[in-house]
Amino acid sequence: MQRLTGLDAGYLYMETPTLHMHTLKISVLDPSTVPGGYRFSRVREELEQRLHLLPPFRRRLVDVPFGLTHPLWIEDPDFDLDWHLHRIAAPAPGGQRELCEVISDIASHQLDRRHPLWEIWVVEGLEGGRVGFVAKLHHSVADGVAAAALLANVLETEPEPKPPRGPEDDWRPDPMPTKRALIVGALADLIASAATIPGLVRRTVRGMRAARDVRRSHPEVPAATPLNTPKTRFNGALTSHRIFATTTVPLEEVKEVRRAFGVTVNDVVLGICAGALVQYLTSHGEQLDKPLLAGVPVSVDGPTDTPRLAGNAVSNLFVSLRTDIADPVERLRAIHESAVVAKEVHHALGADMLADWSELTPPKPFTAWMRLYSKLRLADFHPPPQNAVISNVPGPSVPLYIAGAELVELYSTGPILEGIGLNITVWSYLGTLYFGLISCRELMPDLWTLADLLPPALAELRAAITENA
C-alpha cells in the first residue's frame, strides 16, 4: 500500500471527460521468427509470465474519504488480466494510416479507475504480417522515463526466445483498507505536509529571485513565459475525440545538424517542429504575432539513480520556438539560446519545486475546478499557457525482442491539455527518431499534414549546412 505523490495524483485531478490523462506507447513487432508463429493466446501467456516485471500493472487506486489527501495504490485484490488485454484488427490494407486510425480511437476513451490504470490493445491485420501493441497507461502510473524502463524490463537483446528474467514473485493482493485507516493515515500525512510549508515558501521565494536574476543576465534572449503566447487553431477547448499521426527521421541526420551548428539533439527536434509548425500555420493563413512557446518535459532523475518502474519525476521547461525568425538556421540557434536560459531558470527554481508544491494540492477543489473549466470551455477565452508540448525521450540503440519477435517500430504520445491541443513526442530506436503526434480531432482534423511537414523541416536544416560551410 502506497500513497500517490502529489505530482502523480495531480494527473488524476486534471482529468475530465474531454481531458484524458493517459499516455500511449506503441510498438510494432515482426513475429515471423517466433517459434510456432503468432497467436493471440501466446501474447496473453507471455504477458502473464512477465507481470512481475511490470509492478504498476497490478495496482489500483483507493480514494481517501472526503478527498482529505491523495489516493493510495494497493495491489488489486480483484486483478483480472483479461480486463486489460484486448484484440482488434486494423482496417485493410493495414498500413500506417490504418494503424493510426485504430490508435486514435483507443486514445479517445478514458481508463476505468475501478481497475489498474492500463490497457494493451493487440492490433492485428497490419501489412507484412506485423502486429501492433498499443499500451495505454495513465500518466499517474508512469512518466516517459519510467515507461521506457518498463519496456526495457520485458524485452530482450537476443532474438532467441527466453523465459522471463527472474521467477514470478509470490504476489499477494492487499486487503482493502478500512475507512477509519484511510482517514487516520490521511490526517497524519496532512500534518506532515503542513509542517513543510514554511520551508517551501522560503525556498520558493529564493528560487524565484534566482530565476529573475538569470533572466536579467540574458537580456539578449527574449523571455519565454507562460501566457505570453499567440492563439492558434490547436489552442482551444478540447472534445473527447483524438487524432494520432506519425512520421520518422534518421537520427544520424539529426546529429549531422547538431554537429554543424553546435546545438543539442533536443534543440534540433525543437527546430524541426518549429519549422513544420510555421509551414502548417502559414498554409492555414495564420500569422503569428508572437513566437510559439513549447513546454518541454524534463526528467529530474539523477544520473546515478536506479531506473524507476513507476511514478513521475518530471518538471517542465518553457522554450521559445522562435517562429518569429524566418531563417531556419538562425531560428535553430535562437531556440538553443532559449533552451539554455530555460535550463538555467529551471535550475535556479529547483528541480523539485513543482513536485513539492503539488503535495499540497487539495483533491476535491482542484478536481471540481478542472471539470468546470472544461465544461465551460474556458480555454477558448484566454491565451494558452503554452502552445504545444514537445517531448524527446532517448530510447534503445540495439535491436530488441520479446518471445522471439523483433521490435521494429516504437512510438509514444503524452496527453493534450485544455488550451494546449498538440503533443509531439519523440522516441529514438535503432538510429531512427519516431515522432508521435496527437491532437483533438475538432482542432486539427488534418494532423497528418503537420506530420508530413516534419521530414522536410529537417531537410531544410541539412541543406543549410552546405550553404553555411
d(CA 143, CA 21): 11
User: Cis peptide before 93, with omega less than 30 degrees from 0?
Assistant: yes
d(CA 383, CA 97): 33
Q: Which residue is catalytic, options 139, 218, 284, 346?
A: 139
d(CA 7, CA 4): 8
Neighbours of 12 (CB within 10 A): 21
Q: Which helix (H) or strand (E) holds 308?
A: none
Question: CB-side exposure of 191: number of CA atoms within 13 Å?
Answer: 5
139 tagged catalytic: yes
440: which strand partners? 242
Residue from 354, 2, 368, 359 nearest 190 by CA:
359
Which residues contact residue 256 at a Cβ distance below 8 angstroms, ignoring those fewer than 6 apart? 462, 465
- The three grid cell numbers given for residue 207, joined into one nine-digit string: 528560487
- The three grid cell numbers given for residue 191, joined into one nine-digit string: 500534518
d(CA 383, CA 418): 11
What is the residue whose three cell numbers read 484566454? Answer: 382
Catalytic machinery residues: 139
